[in-house]
């Protein structure tokens, strides 16, 4: 009687898949750093990072479109009060993040070295009205073009329309087709995420072997203020919101979101690319797909704590540089403006940085001066944008999970074990 032995390569792949994803990502981090220092000119090591981000960006729009249609067409539940509560959390946290940024800016005043140059590469919105108008116009974009360009406002709009119509008018077989397609896409996403350690290795290599730290020395204090404010929002403000809602220790959930969502988002620097990662995490947290299939891609658009911090601190740095006095009421108005602008930042080319001139206009700062501030932002973007994306993306899952677990408490269902309940989840 012969014993069938497992081949070397299949066995290696099995052991790789069974190893903790976080441990594999940490190994990828270390490997990318070592390779970036030892072989800075070997661009071949950056290929896995580029491929990883490209794969996530490619599958995310189609995944969102199909998953939302499938959830609405075949799901038994609807976008109930849980979804409305998620939106409330998104907006509340973004406004409080802006207030925290004001506090940090007053506590640690910073200035910016200005020159006679101002490089303006994109059209800058003249006000919040224009930002919201652009957001509304983008909603009615061609659905195919929206998936190509990654316009998630339009993707969500058309997916909701098609999903509701399909639930009402289509046959069960048609709905089953979309369910099967969504499962296929979810399987593809799991495969991509399984290769995340190689992608992270390539992304870390790009960062280490590219621009050195010397370019950031002049703006070290400004970077520290930005990072400190974002850390305060992610580790104090957001957990406080979760605690007030659930009345449980929020940090097990917060750290899990940071570990499994924020870490990937930090290196991809793209909320859109992180949507599949967040949806996979929501599934592992036992959340309702009818809710998170809509709230996660929407959060990538309107849950912008990091963007609010950047807009507020960079604007106040410009104001202080110009010697313009700022009182508390003006700072609160700036926080409100930053909140509204941040919610529309993904609909504007250049993201949060290109909304700084709009905020600067509140204090009468000219566009030429404001665009110099934007240029400084681009210099710091490797650090600033990474932290901003990590905060934004991990918050999408955090607040979606908080709204879901709040619903569990109200309906008598036990919370997950890591929050002190009895429900066991995939960890």
By the 8 A CB rule, do 267 and 383 touch? no
Tokens describing residue 386: 């990474």
Q: Per-block average pLDDT, block size 10, for the chain (427 residues)? A: 56 74 79 84 85 79 79 64 89 93 91 57 51 68 82 78 79 78 79 81 76 57 91 95 94 93 84 85 90 86 85 90 82 83 57 74 76 75 82 93 93 87 69
Question: How many other β-carbons are positioned within 10 Å of the β-carbon of residue 327?
Answer: 8
**Whole-number pLDDT of residue 75:** 58
What is the CATH number assigned to the segment(s) 16-419? 1.10.3860.10
CA 24, 30, 33, 39 torsion-angle sign = negative
Q: What is the pTM for the complete model shown?
A: 0.73
- Nearest Cα neighbor of 56 from 300, 285, 379 is 300
User: Are 258 and 278 within 8 A, CB to CB?
Assistant: no
State residue 239's pLDDT score.
96
Q: In the chain, where are the structural domains located?
A: 16-419
Question: In the prediction, which pLDDT does 173 show?
Answer: 78
- Determine the pLDDT at residue 333: 84
pLDDT value at position 327?
A: 80
3-state secondary structure of 348: coil
The per-residue DSSP string of 68-131 comes to HHHHHHH-SS-S-HHHHHHHHHHHHHHHHHHHHHHHHHHHS-------S-----SPPPSSHHHH
Measure the CA–CA gap between 341 and 335, rounded to whole angstroms: 10
- Our CA angle for 343, 349, 353, nearest 5°, is 65
Report yes or no: 135 and 345 within 8 Å, Cβ to Cβ.
no
Residue 303's nearest CA partner among 271, 333, 273, 332 is 271
Residue reference for tokens 């110099």: 372
* Nearest residue to 24 (alpha-carbon basis) of 205, 207, 200, 165: 200
Q: Residue 266: what pLDDT? A: 86
Q: Which residue has the tokens 């046959």?
A: 171
Query: So what's the pLDDT on residue 348?
Result: 44
**Residue 326 — left, alpha, or beta (φ > 0 → left; ψ -120 to 50 → alpha)?**
beta
CA-nearest of 59, 79, 76, 69 to 175 is 69
């Amino acid at each position: 009687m012969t014993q069938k032995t497992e081949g070397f390569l299949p066995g290696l792949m099995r052991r790789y898949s069974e190893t903790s994803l976080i441990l594999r990502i940490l190994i990828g981090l270390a490997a990318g750093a070592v390779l970036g220092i030892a072989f800075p000119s070997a661009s071949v090591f950056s290929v896995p990072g580029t491929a990883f981000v490209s794969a996530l960006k490619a599958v995310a729009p189609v995944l969102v479109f199909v998953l939302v249609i499938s959830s609405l067409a075949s799901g038994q539940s609807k976008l109930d009060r849980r979804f409305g509560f998620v939106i409330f959390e998104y907006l509340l946290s973004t406004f409080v993040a802006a207030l925290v940024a004001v506090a940090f800016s007053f506590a640690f005043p910073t200035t910016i070295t200005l020159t006679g140059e101002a490089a303006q590469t994109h059209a800058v919105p003249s006000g919040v009205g224009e930002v919201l108008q652009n957001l509304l116009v983008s909603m009615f974009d061609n659905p195919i073009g929206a998936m190509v360009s990654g316009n998630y406002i339009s993707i969500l709009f058309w997916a909701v329309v098609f999903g509701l119509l399909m639930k009402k008018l289509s046959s069960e077989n048609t709905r089953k087709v979309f369910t099967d397609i969504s499962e296929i896409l979810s399987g593809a996403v799991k495969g991509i995420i399984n290769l995340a350690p190689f992608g992270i290795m390539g992304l870390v290599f790009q960062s280490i072997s590219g621009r050195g730290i010397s370019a950031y020395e002049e703006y070290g204090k400004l970077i520290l203020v930005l990072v400190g404010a974002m850390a305060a929002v992610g580790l104090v403000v957001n957990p406080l919101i979760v605690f007030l809602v659930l009345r449980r220790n929020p940090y097990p959930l917060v750290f899990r979101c940071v570990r499994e969502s924020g870490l990937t988002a930090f290196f991809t620097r793209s909320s859109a690319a992180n949507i599949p990662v967040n949806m996979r995490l929501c599934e592992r947290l036992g959340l309702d797909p009818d809710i998170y299939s809509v709230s996660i891609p929407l959060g990538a658009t309107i849950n912008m704590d990091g963007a609010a911090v950047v807009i507020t601190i960079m604007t106040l740095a410009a104001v202080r540089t110009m010697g313009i006095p700022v009182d508390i009421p003006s700072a609160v108005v700036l926080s409100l403006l930053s909140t509204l602008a941040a919610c529309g930042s993904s609909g504007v080319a250049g993201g949060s940085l290109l909304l700084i001139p709009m905020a600067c206009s509140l204090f009468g700062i000219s566009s030429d001066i404001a665009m110099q501030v934007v240029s400084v932002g681009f210099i710091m973007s490797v650090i600033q944008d990474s932290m901003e994306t990590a905060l934004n993306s991990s918050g999408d899952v955090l607040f979606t999970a908080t709204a879901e677990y709040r619903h569990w408490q109200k309906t008598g269902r036990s919370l997950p074990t890591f929050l002190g309940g009895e429900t066991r989840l995939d960890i």
